[in-house]
């Protein structure tokens, strides 16, 4: 957390001023600051502490990973994050070791129904994997860095590829509930409004200060997933599109759904993007896939409310199809 000292004087002429001796307790300001603004404008002066973009230092992340390694002999090469209602993918993991998030010092804990909060290590499609059975969400009150720090921890465990799954609302009118969308790109709406997961001091051991996010989602994995889906008979329900992240926890209004569609988004959800950005930042291959569990309202005359229970129900109905696709993808991908 950062500390801020603001000393404001209200002059009789209606001018707000900050004295020139006002300085942050800790931060980057080296010179006195003088600010004068007209009536009703706001003065904000923030000091920036020694905060890395991960929240935890590089050494802390390594320490968490070492603690986890003491509970399993599996050395994962692929990390999988399971979205709402999709945690049963863990049932396909053999030779498994399970660790509750709450057992791991400093590991964030999920509180959302449908997210069990467990790491599952084992073999999937013959490959060593670690599954996050439940993810961390921004709307739970976590800072953005904590939402994605499990990806850094999985990187420290040895993974080279991460598969991100989620439940999403459909925005593209051609989509239907139950469709499966391969993510080809994303829109980081929180990031565009100042909540990028990489905000803060950057440690080059995690990745570069200014990472490129073009082609975040590995094209070869997208192509392989499409081929597998067609062989499994999923051609009619398979989509490929752009995912937009919103903060949540509210589902979208009609106006918001229309706006997001104008942005070019095909599906919307409350996760995935921070994890994808952090994964690319630290050099991981990324594959993302969404299960369309509801269609977002874009017509006031026919709209009805979406519930989390409905999202979980669709997840249960289509989960086996998604599990087959992800398992086959893991089995056939190159390490």
Domains and CATH numbers, the chain: 55-332 (3.40.50.1580)
Percent of the chain whose pLDDT exceeds 90: 69
pLDDT at residue 21, rounded to an integer: 47
**8 A C-beta contact, residue 142 and residue 150:** no
In this predicted model, which residue has the larger pLDDT, 228 or 17?
228
For 231-275, what is each residue's pLDDT tens digit?
999 999 999 999 999 999 999 999 999 999 999 999 999 999 999
Cβ neighbours of residue 298 under 8 Å, at least 6 residues apart?
171, 173, 254, 257, 258, 261
Nearest 5°: phi and psi at 128? -75, 125
| pLDDT, position 53 | 52
Q: Name the range with the highest mean pLDDT among 41-45, 138-142, 256-260, 320-324.
A: 256-260
Two tokens at 147?
Answer: 């939402």
- Mean pLDDT value of segment 18-22: 46
Instruction: Determine the pLDDT at residue 54.
Output: 52
- Structural tokens at position 261: 């569609």
pLDDT at 303: 63
Q: Is the pLDDT of residue 223 over 60?
A: yes
pLDDT of 116 reads 81
Residue 87 has pLDDT above 90, yes or no: no
Q: How far, in Å, CA of 298 to CA of 252, rounded?
A: 10
Three-state secondary structure call for residue 94: strand
Tally of CB atoms within 10 A around 191: 19
| Cα–Cα dist 320/89, whole Å | 8
Distance of CA 299 to the CA centre of its chain: 29
CA distance 194 to 174: 32
CA dist., res. 193 & res. 249, Å (int)? 17
DSSP state of 91: G
Q: Write down the pTM of the prediction.
A: 0.83
Distance, CA of 55 to CA of 52 (rounded, Å): 5
Averaged pLDDT for residues 32-51 = 40
Confidence check: pLDDT of 13 > 80:
no
Pairing of β 267-269 and β 118-124 = unpaired
Residue 112: count of CB within 10 angstroms of its CB: 19
Q: Which of these, 65, 58, 63, 13, lies nearest to 38 by C-alpha position?
A: 13
Do 178 and 315 meet the contact criterion of CB atoms below 8 Å apart?
A: no
- Residue 314: pLDDT band by 50, 70, 90 thresholds? confident
pLDDT digits (tens, 9 = 90+) for 134-171: 899 999 999 999 999 999 999 999 999 999 999 999 99
Q: How far apart are CA 157 and CA 132, in angstroms?
A: 13
């Amino acid at each position: 957390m950062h500390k801020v000292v603001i000393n404001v004087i209200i002059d009789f002429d209606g001018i707000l001023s900050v004295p020139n001796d006002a300085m942050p307790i800790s931060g980057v300001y080296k010179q006195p600051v003088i600010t004068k603004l007209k009536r009703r404008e706001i003065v904000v002066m923030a000091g920036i502490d020694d905060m890395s973009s991960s929240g935890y230092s590089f050494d802390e992340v390594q320490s968490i990973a070492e603690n986890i390694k003491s509970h399993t002999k599996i050395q994962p090469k692929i990390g999988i994050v399971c979205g709402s209602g999709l945690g049963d993918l863990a049932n396909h993991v053999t030779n498994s070791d399970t660790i509750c998030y709450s057992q791991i010092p400093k590991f964030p804990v999920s509180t959302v129904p449908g997210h069990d909060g467990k790491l599952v290590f084992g073999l999937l499609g013959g490959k060593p994997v670690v599954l996050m059975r439940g993810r961390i969400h921004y709307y739970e009150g976590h800072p953005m860095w904590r939402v994605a720090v499990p990806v850094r921890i999985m990187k420290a465990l040895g993974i080279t590829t991460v598969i991100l799954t989620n439940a999403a609302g459909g925005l593209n009118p051609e989509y239907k509930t139950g469709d499966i969308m391969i993510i080809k790109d994303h829109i980081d709406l929180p990031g565009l409004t100042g909540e990028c997961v990489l905000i803060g001091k950057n440690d080059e051991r995690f990745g570069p200060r200014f990472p490129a996010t073009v082609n975040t989602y590995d094209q070869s994995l997208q192509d392989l997933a499409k081929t597998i889906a067609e062989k499994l008979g999923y051609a009619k329900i398979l989509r490929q599109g752009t995912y937009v992240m919103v903060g949540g926890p509210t589902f979208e209004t009609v106006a918001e759904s229309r706006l997001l569609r104008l942005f070019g988004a095909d599906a919307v959800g409350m996760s995935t993007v921070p994890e994808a950005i952090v994964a690319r930042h630290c050099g991981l291959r990324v594959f993302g896939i969404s299960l369309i569990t509801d269609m977002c309202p874009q017509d006031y005359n026919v709209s009805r409310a979406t519930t989390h229970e409905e999202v979980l129900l669709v997840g249960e109905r289509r989960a086996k199809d998604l599990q087959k696709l992800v398992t086959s993808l893991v089995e056939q991908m190159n390490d």
